[in-house]
Structure 1
């Protein structure tokens, strides 16, 4: 449909703000581009916008909102009209430090999204100006130093409802999906451009709405993921699993928990692009998914159970 251009940013909640900020800047290697109220705006060195991560002090963890930038002012109006017709609109906001007015809406799992057109492009200060004019910022080499925001994964009790929603609200293409033997849709990967995916939804067996699985920034090559593992080790960051290679989407990856417990991924996004205009979703069966990753260690149980905010098991009992 091409009304929506790309995944723009994510707001992440933390109840350990100082520790989380230290992780994302000193260890993970994002740069601070501004702050306002109880939020700090962060970006990777080649993100063109003012920010791709809004880190907000909060009473709990998880995701505040997810933002996409549209392809034109006219596209914004078209998408708003479609979303309002679906009955899931919340309304307009004035935007924030990184962009102008935005329209907010809610997915069937309760996550809050926003779309906008007017944006603030990052302007590197003198000490961060790159030698080449076609990148946003010089490579600073601090911490993991990822290049750009790549994707995120959200949890949803009903992934099939999400599939219908994303294709109608944002015009997303389904690139890959996991279908269990009983026909249940257990996972679905979406893209609004020719990347293999910008967002994924996987089934949340807790039934709790609006939970967060992980956010991923991309590095250039596999060796950068291996280097990230050493950096996390030296800084006492809990490595949940990896480095391995995913079967679904084929990325080389490493998962860690930042200090508040939100899952963060480092991945080599690879060179796969969806160029076919008549792309048909790749369907993975339950048996194929049970094999785990393409190679590496077996996927640990927490990958399928851990999300933020954490579930109050006593309240569920």
Structure 2
């Protein structure tokens, strides 16, 4: 058994690109219910009410859509040094040190996966300090529950599209040291999807096989709610605000979370999942294999996976819908 690696602590933030900045910002704040912590010339820095850092989403004005970068906070300065040494000794492309943005307390180290997704590791961070009007009555909460829109509790995971999920798995093992928890084995020998965790959550990073002809694309970003009823309420909120509901509410077979997928105004897919899903406490957990036959049965209660879930990603592929 390989000694578990806990150099990487958790998913810190994601940068989402939008070519409809004002519409996307309105969605993520008024409808989805994230809070705006700050803004600069190109980006708004957003967080869920119990995210402890300054931001968990950097929403950036762009001429395209998709993912700008995925950022993980490490468990210590020494852990950051170990991860950088592993990355620089590997075959993966390195970008190197970059100045931290508004939500950072210092520099961050960037590198790329095999498909061009940019990852970032950092230790120094800027924690959110709630002003009196946003402070919770409970000392152990980052800020008060504000009940604006959906109001998810925290960032949960990101799902990226890659042409070879097996190659992505090797990248994660080498660069992040995270463990695989579940995967899809296709009949053709390829992997249809891989799920990874760097802590005791069931997963915080996913790679789904790219079937839409793109490269380096985003499948979705997910925030967590406390319970299923929050997601049922969210479905009505999305309905009343003209938001495209792609699929759900329903329960995943893989990982067991209750889910709802929508497209924000620029076309990026966003998910809500309940935070009460499983934890993995078993230190020698064996990854669960789901076969193609298993997946054809649909989700946990039989809902079939719709075609756009396999083909839609951002940015869109020219010439394809």
TM-score norm. by structure 2 comes to 0.96
1:95 partnered with 2:100: yes
1:81 alignment partner in structure 2: 85
Pairwise CA distance, 1:208: 2.3
1:61 maps to which residue? 65
CA distance in 1 between counterparts of 2:199 and 2:193 reads 19
Task: State the 1:207 CA deviation.
Answer: 4.1
Picking from 184, 202, 225, the partner of 2:231 is: 225
For 2:208 and 2:115, locate their aligned partners in 1 and report how far apart those are by CA, in whole Å.
11
Looking at structure 2, the residues matched to 14 and 131 of structure 1 have their Cα atoms a distance apart, in angstroms, of 35
Give the distance between the partners of 1:208 and 1:298, measured in 2 at CA. Answer: 24
Is the aligned partner of 1:42 residue 2:52? no
- The answer to whether the Cα contact below 8 Å between 1:60 and 1:309 also exists between their aligned partners in 2 is yes
Q: 2:293 aligns with which of 287, 296, 313?
A: 287
Q: What is the CA–CA distance in structure 2 between the aligned matches of 1:208 and 1:238, rounded to whole Å?
A: 22
Of residues 41-50 and 79-88 in structure 1, the stretch that sits farther from structure 2 once superposed is 79-88
Determine helix, strand or coil for the equivalent of 1:78. helix
Which of 4, 10, 19 does residue 6 from structure 1 map onto? Answer: 10
Q: Partners in 1 of 2:59 and 2:231 — Cα distance? A: 23
User: Are 2:296 and 2:304, in contact at CA under 8 Å, matched by a contact in 1?
Assistant: no
CA–CA separation in structure 1 for the residues paired with 2:198 and 2:180: 9
Structure 1: runs of 5 or more not aligned: none
CA distance in 1 between partners of 2:156 and 2:131 (Å): 24
Residue 173 of structure 1 is aligned with which of 169, 174, 179? Answer: 179
Give distance in 2, aligned partners of 1:128 and 1:254: 28
Aligned to 1:82, the other structure's residue is in SS state helix
Structure 1 runs of 4+ aligned residues shifted over 3 Å read none
Where structure 2 has 5 or more consecutive residues not aligned to the other structure, the ranges are none
Q: Secondary structure at the match of 1:86?
A: coil
1:239 aligns with 2:245: yes
TM-score by length of 1: 0.97
Moved more, 82-91 or 294-303: 294-303
Supply the RMSD in Å over aligned alpha carbons. 1.2
The CA deviation string for residues 62-85 of structure 1, in whole angstroms up to 9 with x for no partner, is 000000000001111110111011
Secondary structure of 1:51's counterpart equals coil
CA contact (8 A) 1:5 1:71 kept: yes
